[in-house]
Structure 1
């Protein structure tokens, strides 16, 4: 049996959900998305994801077709309808279907709003146990990476290039400094056990898992710095890791073929993952 998805007010089998070829999400990538993790049938970090969704839609002038209570109810319903105990809920809202292709658009268009689930093991992760490897690639994304749009062609191509080079993913670099992983926040741990990640700006997405992980780290006595760091600093680091809604805190053990630290998942990375899961699980809704 396939998934039950949500599209413009209807619950439908996934095979029956249809969107117009003129939809601006399809023609212009004129759409916003969010991904929320489900664990034990509950939503992790949901308030942050809901707030970022609203911030992103406001930034490009798309009006959400549901209010705050309705949005939460839809997340809970889609998890229940698909017997989702562990995995992800994907939400997308596009500007809608104008009936034809035109760069200009009416400001009061009816948006296209969809949701679907994706079952995934988020606790028992092979990547978390052994760590991942990355290569560095130039960051060629558009200039507003702080808005969570569906313009993901370059991150997708970068992931493919990384795999072609024998790595698991890529860390993107602008002006000599790491910005992000292709779809996650990048961190290093210095020789004196300081967790370092790039400060928020237009060149990075304000990660919801990032915010929670940094707060949990500080609360548990870890030293944290928000500043740019170079590729050379990564190679000299004691540890490295990344955070995302679908992978929590995951170690990075090599970059451009060179080991980071001893080439194994570091103690701080693994401890922060443990603390994150414990804390977010306890606060899931």
Structure 2
């Protein structure tokens, strides 16, 4: 965590930031957040993240007492104050302190600056393993702070050499705990349409790829895929070469996945340099 954050309506020392112990974010796990990268002291796809954050606030009935322009100014000040050339910014809006300790109230806005560590180069070169898990995230289209199941289940990932999980329900997959999911079959790029967060990295990869099929994907199709990958702000595009005990494709990152990652890196340079 970097030295300075935004809390209590101003930029302060991060170590002094605090939240009321009866805030719904603590006692009910109710709140929203968003996280984006900084590249060359600029917020990558910042407008997309502001769109999603403000929409999440509205959908969760949490008042956001800052205009879009005010948020931009605060973010710019934090990037400068923390000299955040390459890193991340986390916006959090808590559920607030309500009279009945249950209903959404006036929450508290925090914006934290963070260092960012990408997965190892080996993971991009060899791909990663996922574990299937029968689950659908509640209100999946909103980026809430509720990651209880994933945090609890993550102890099993390390034991089984997995990077993350792949959620599925009734024979159809949705997403990973912190990433969107794609498969490639016979040259066709496909990504799920239901029970997912509309990821910003996902959105921009779809733009780059040009032709992407967005529809329900069965577990059987995943087993038979030529390639698979997860994508997120903190991973960009990470090839998936094993799910449970099954090898995906030939067990190596596929050409379409590798090409998409390179094109994303090129876009990043165009936007921020």
Q: TM-score range by the shorter chain?
A: over 0.9
Match 1:278 to one of 253, 258, 266: 266
Measured after TM superposition, the shift of residue 141 of structure 1 is 2.9
Conserved in 2, the CA contact under 8 Å of 1:86 and 1:122? no
Question: Quick one: distance in 1 between partners of 2:89 and 2:149?
Answer: 23
Aligned to 1:204: 196
Measured after TM superposition, the shift of residue 256 of structure 1 is 0.9
Conserved in 1, the CA contact under 8 Å of 2:2 and 2:115? no
Match 1:253 to one of 231, 234, 241: 241
- Structure 1 residues 277 and 2: alpha-carbon distance in aligned structure 2, compared to 1, 3 A threshold: closer
Question: Quick one: distance in 2 between partners of 1:60 and 1:48?
Answer: 18
Aligned to 1:134: 130
Any gaps of 5 or more consecutive residues in structure 2?
Answer: none
Question: Quick one: distance in 2 between partners of 1:125 and 1:146?
Answer: 31
Question: Quick one: distance in 1 between partners of 2:129 and 2:25?
Answer: 33
**Where do residues 162-177 of structure 1 align in structure 2 (5 Å cutoff)?**
162-177=157-172
Report the TM-score when normalising by structure 1. Answer: 0.89
Measured after TM superposition, the shift of residue 111 of structure 1 is 2.4
**Aligned-partner SS, 1:88:** strand
Measured after TM superposition, the shift of residue 12 of structure 1 is 1.9
Measured after TM superposition, the shift of residue 121 of structure 1 is 3.8
Question: Quick one: distance in 2 between partners of 1:71 and 1:264?
Answer: 42
| Off by >6 Å, runs of 4+ in structure 1 | none
Question: Quick one: distance in 2 between partners of 1:281 and 1:88?
Answer: 17
**Where do residues 93-132 of structure 1 align in structure 2 (5 Å cutoff)?**
93-98=93-98, 102-104=101-103, 109-122=105-118, 125-132=121-128
Measured after TM superposition, the shift of residue 73 of structure 1 is 1.5
Measured after TM superposition, the shift of residue 216 of structure 1 is 0.8
Question: Quick one: distance in 2 between partners of 1:60 and 1:31?
Answer: 8
- Structure 1 residues 123 and 183: alpha-carbon distance in aligned structure 2, compared to 1, 3 A threshold: closer
- Structure 1 residues 22 and 244: alpha-carbon distance in aligned structure 2, compared to 1, 3 A threshold: same
Question: Quick one: distance in 2 between partners of 1:42 and 1:91?
Answer: 16
- Structure 1 residues 62 and 284: alpha-carbon distance in aligned structure 2, compared to 1, 3 A threshold: farther
Question: Quick one: distance in 1 between partners of 2:125 and 2:115?
Answer: 20
**Where do residues 31-46 of structure 1 align in structure 2 (5 Å cutoff)?**
31-46=31-46
Aligned to 2:208: 216
Conserved in 1, the CA contact under 8 Å of 2:2 and 2:114? no
Conserved in 2, the CA contact under 8 Å of 1:137 and 1:158? no
Question: Quick one: distance in 2 between partners of 1:131 and 1:116?
Answer: 30
Question: Quick one: distance in 1 between partners of 2:217 and 2:103?
Answer: 40
Aligned to 2:173: 178
Conserved in 2, the CA contact under 8 Å of 1:139 and 1:179? no
Measured after TM superposition, the shift of residue 157 of structure 1 is 2.5
